[in-house]
Amino acid sequence: MKKSDFNYQLPPQLIAQKPLANRGDSRLLCMNKNTGQLKNKFFNNFLNLINPNDLLVFNDTKVIPARLFAKKQTGGKVEILIERIIDGHHAIAHLKASKSPKAGSLLILDDGFHCEVLGREADLFKLHFEGEMTLLTILDKIGHIPLPPYITREDEVSDFERYQTVFAKQQGAVAAPTAGLHFDNKMMQQIQEKNIATSFVTLHVGSGTFQPVRVENLAEHVMHSEYFKVTDATVNAIKATRVNGGRVIAIGTTAVRALESASKDDGLKSGFGDTNLFITPGYDFKSVDAMLTNFHLPESTLLMLISAFAGYENVMSAYQHAIEQRYRFFSYGDAMFLSTNEK
């Protein structure tokens, strides 16, 4: 398939610029991935769609305040978006400036912090943050929440809470696993009370998730790499779910990529590392039976992933339905549940 096959026309007013007042108030478009049948629901009905012995797999990554504003020694403005933290004082980052700073350049940050440009790694820059404080501490003090480029407003204090899942734990993402944003503490408590099985993976979402696919031939696209981890506990929980006849339900495309990256020909294995798995139609899913996800950008790798999971024609038809029904799109928008035998 070609990149242009995944294009669709979205009215700009359907791009959610802010979250709803309550996380659980989102709408939920349910689709039977075998038949393409659609049902309009609300997210607060989601737990009613879970069958006995099902397993919910969440991504517990935590978004860091990865956007920084700096000045060159010459006074020029520089915007820094951390892509990945290497260690306590080094990071790989995107730099936006009128003229790219050279190796050896010193960038002056807020509150007297500094970082040095060590050099380039393809389109990215390697930075060294000076001083005794670790990079994570510096980000906590002066960093901004890295809202996606389609959110056109400046970040606000409320985004520190709302562009973060309530179960976030492992620091390292520069974009939120957005399907998880719909869960509030009340629903997480209800999951426990209903004895619904849960497990966690980690995938540190990179800003590359928003990068456009630049080639028409999908076979030529080079996927960005992201760190993932799947534990023995999660592997065992999935094995138990299979034995008991339940479904493995991934909460978000990032949970899907973590599980599928850890799946080999001889089954799911625990482990960690970098993944650049690019899932397109024709892919054979090994570990996931159902998926909760948000609505994704045209021609994006995430739209290609869900088309692989639920069928290209089904998904593109569902997106047109969502547009006609005025669903809210992208990170702060509404959700889809792709499954079979839903109630």
Residue 235 near residue 264, CB atoms below 8 Å: no
- Between strands 106-109 and 114-121, the pairing is antiparallel
C-alpha span between 111 and 165 (Å, rounded)? 29
- Segments making up each domain of the chain, as ranges: 3-63+160-339, 67-142
Q: Which of 5, 18, 20, 10 is nearest to 296 (CA)?
A: 10
Q: Which of 300, 118, 89 is nearest to 208 (CA)?
A: 300
Residue whose tokens read 């790694």: 121
- pLDDT string in tens for the chain (343-residue length): 999 999 999 999 999 999 999 999 999 999 999 999 999 999 999 999 999 999 999 999 999 999 999 999 999 999 999 999 999 999 999 999 999 999 999 999 999 999 999 999 888 999 999 889 999 999 999 999 999 999 999 999 999 999 999 999 999 999 999 999 999 999 999 999 999 999 999 999 998 777 889 999 999 998 888 999 999 999 999 999 999 999 999 999 999 999 999 998 789 999 999 999 999 999 999 999 999 999 999 999 999 999 999 999 999 999 999 999 999 999 999 999 999 865 5
Residue 194's identity, in one-letter code, is: K
Q: 67-142 belongs to which homologous superfamily?
A: QueA-like (2.40.10.240)
Q: Give the bridge partners for 273, in sequence order.
A: 228
H or E element that contains 250 = strand 248-251
Domains 3-63+160-339 and 67-142 agree in fold: no
Per CATH, the number for 3-63+160-339 is 3.40.1780.10
Residue 159 near residue 147, CB atoms below 8 Å: yes
Q: Which of 177, 174, 223 is nearest to 202 (CA)?
A: 177
Q: How far, CA to CA in Å, does 11 sit from each of 16, 26, 288?
A: 11, 19, 32
C-alpha span between 138 and 147 (Å, rounded)? 19
| b (16+ CB within 10 A) / e for 8-34 | eebeeebbbbebbeebbebbbbbbbbe
